[in-house]
Amino acid sequence: MSLSAERIAEVIARLGKARVLILGDIMLDEYLFGRVDRISPEAPVPVVEISHDKLLLGGAANVAANIRALGDEPLLVGVVGEDEAAVKLSQLLKQHGIGADYCVCDRSRQTTIKTRIMAHSQQVVRADRENRHELHPDVERMVLAKFTAAAESVNAVIISDYGKGVITLSLLNSVMEVCRKRGLFVAVDPKETHFHNYKRVSLITPNHHEAGFAAGRRIVSEADLIDVGNSLLRELEARSILITRGPDGMSLFEQDAEPTHIPTFARKVFDVTGAGDTVIAAFVAAVCAGATLVEAAIVANAGAGITVGEVGTATVSSAELYAELLRNVKNGTLVTRGSTGTQA
């Protein structure tokens, strides 16, 4: 199928009317930018002369930023430490128009910071400061209480699991019970080691490596891709699975439907950091705007094509999304296929 310009305009016009609850691992992304002119005399490593730095929202906070950029209202639920990073994170959330009322402070852990050193538009090294132990039961109860309160007034839920200890199995089970009672659309950006915990969700968005890991086989052909997608769909009893495939686009698997393969929209790729956040945010925003699952996948694919062209975590606005979708309509590339036409 393909989306018409009229249908694109209809879906985009409906963006900005939903409230989306985001639960997950909240992070601060720090970027140090510089250049390399020499090798260190102390060790065979490059010396990066830092020229400037930048702080960005990461993890579940970046998903919330993407939801806000598309015009919808994000409600962010997660855990931060009692530290300087949490203060900086709070300031960034405020700048993006995202409230921190549903965030829980846990003094036993530090706020996750991922520091990336960039030279000549390439990542040289990444340093992580974080705790990955599971939440203490008392903290977990506070997170569940925040989630339950926020869920009373939302249209959809996104679970952003980076494996930092927030999405425990007991919390996930309690959260899903709340969501089912309210009939909410639930989308999950999975951690591969937690994959089999995400039962009966509306959408799960693994990349092809994560999907293959969860299914116990590498995806090296179209036949592998289809087998993995369909088997995970059955095992998880999910409504849909969107497998992102890098330069080969995306493949959507739905119950009682043939897989839909969507070619990539990306024109240039500088940095894939945070692309999955954009994918899940754009997909859910489109669903809330009345798009079908296939239409939402096309919208998400367009959003990812924009953000991978930026260095660092990035967001996409509804205006940018509209322009990108129309560009692909004009070029005849906004078409889904029943066959991938490529190796996975």
The first and second tokens of residue 276, run together, are: 């999955």
Distance CA 254, CA 149 (A): 31
Q: Which of 29, 72, 248, 277 is catalytic?
A: 277
Given the structure tokens 């702080």, which residue do they identify? 55
Distance CA 19, CA 77 (A): 13
Distance CA 42, CA 61 (A): 38
Distance CA 129, CA 281 (A): 26
Does residue 256 carry a catalytic annotation? no
Residues 6 or more apart whose Cβ sits within 8 Å of residue 228: 211, 212, 215, 217, 219, 243
Distance CA 226, CA 244 (A): 13
One-letter amino acid at 195 equals: F
Given the structure tokens 């906004």, which residue do they identify? 334
Q: Is 17 exposed, middle or buried (0-12, 13-18, 19+ CB in 10 A)?
A: middle
The count of residues in the chain is 344
Residue 294's alpha-carbon distances to 145, 216, 218, 328, in angstroms, are 34, 27, 25, 16
Q: Which of 127, 136, 128 is nearest to 107 (CA)?
A: 136
Q: Name the 3-class secondary structure at 249.
A: coil
The first and second tokens of residue 264, run together, are: 């990539």
Q: Annotated active-site positions, please?
A: 277
